[in-house]
């Protein structure tokens, strides 16, 4: 039976990777969690695994659909309404081509999901946090928001936006007991690269091979740590990489 005093987290993108691991972590710590995603069956399976609808509320939606986000997150059922934590996690990269060869549809999908989806969820849930005078927004940025690499073009741009938006939220919330954190992971093994390489699992696997990448549980640990610190402590940014990853450094090569 769910504790009526349990804190409530909304975690977008709960059907895979970081979102699913973070949901498991918070439920284990006694939280109730709202999970969103497009793959309804996965949402339902996670709900069943973690104790049913008293503990996990599922919302099947596409984060690019502003009306759907506003409607569903703006009218959460009793017991899930007073949101203590929003984890803006849903997101993706599509492609790794140089800018002149990218697909404009991929660019728009990344902007619509990684930027606009974050805006829709935040704008819907932040007023309640301000009203209740408590809350925490944790965004999933990326090392890609700070460190450029070839083919990262628009994905990196979306994560740079998320980083700066996080700082902007902090600035707007000055004087209020509401926290904002940007979690910026590096190479982490999830479905992320299978999506990026359009279902090419071998290519995704070879990216991680022998590199001992971060795991979704590592990121769930970072998110839970930031959320469980005393309320006067705000972690602004967490940049985290596997030991095997580092900065590429500056290069020079002859112009073609």
Residue 112, Cβ density class (10 Å: 0-12 exposed, 13-18 middle, ≥19 buried):
middle
Residue 155 annotated to the active site: yes
Stretch that binds ligand NDP, among 24-32, 60-68, 220-228, 240-248 (CB under 6 A): 60-68
Site string for ligand 8X3, 58-97 (x = CB under 6 A): ----------------------------------------
Length of the chain: 256
Among 6, 10, 18, 59, binds ligand NDP (CB under 6 A): 18
End-to-end CA distance of the chain: 66
CB nearer to ligand 8X3: pick between 143 and 154: 143
Distance of CA 165 to the CA centre of its chain: 14
Contacts of 51 (CB under 8 A, 6+ apart): 2, 27
The catalytic residue among 120, 149, 155, 208 is: 155
Residues 126-145 that bind ligand NDP (CB under 6 A): 140, 142
State in angstroms the smallest separation of the CB of 248 from ligand 8X3.
11
> d(Cα 149, Cα 136) in Å, to the nearest integer?
31
> d(Cα 89, Cα 117) in Å, to the nearest integer?
10
Residue 143 sits in the site that holds ligand 8X3 (CB under 6 A): yes
Residue 95 sits in the site that holds ligand NDP (CB under 6 A): no
Residue 186 sits in the site that holds ligand 8X3 (CB under 6 A): yes
> d(Cα 41, Cα 182) in Å, to the nearest integer?
29
Residue 64 sits in the site that holds ligand NDP (CB under 6 A): yes
Q: Which residues are catalytic?
A: 155
């Amino acid at each position: 039976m769910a504790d009526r005093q349990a804190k409530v987290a909304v975690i977008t993108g709960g059907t895979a990777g970081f979102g699913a691991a973070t949901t498991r972590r918070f439920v284990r710590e006694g939280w109730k969690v709202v999970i969103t995603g497009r793959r309804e069956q996965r949402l339902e399976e996670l709900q069943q695994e973690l104790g049913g609808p008293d503990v996990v509320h599922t919302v099947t939606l596409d984060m690019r659909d502003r009306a759907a986000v506003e409607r569903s997150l703006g009218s959460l059922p009793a017991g899930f309404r007073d949101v203590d934590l929003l984890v803006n996690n849903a997101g993706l990269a599509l492609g790794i081509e140089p800018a002149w060869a990218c697909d404009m549809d991929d660019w728009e999908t990344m902007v619509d999901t990684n930027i606009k989806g974050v805006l829709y969820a935040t704008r819907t849930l932040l007023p309640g946090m301000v009203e209740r005078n408590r809350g925490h927004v944790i965004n999933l940025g990326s090392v890609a928001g700070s460190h450029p690499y070839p083919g990262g073009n628009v994905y990196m741009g979306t994560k740079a936006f998320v980083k700066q938006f996080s700082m902007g939220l902090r600035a707007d919330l000055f004087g209020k007991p509401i926290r904002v954190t940007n979690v910026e992971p590096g190479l982490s093994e999830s479905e992320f690269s299978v999506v990026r390489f359009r279902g090419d699992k071998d290519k995704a696997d070879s990216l991680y091979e022998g590199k001992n990448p971060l795991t979704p549980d590592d990121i769930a640990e970072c998110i839970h740590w930031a959320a469980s610190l005393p309320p006067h402590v705000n972690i602004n940014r967490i940049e985290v990489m596997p030991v095997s990853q580092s900065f590429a450094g500056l290069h020079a090569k002859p112009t073609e």
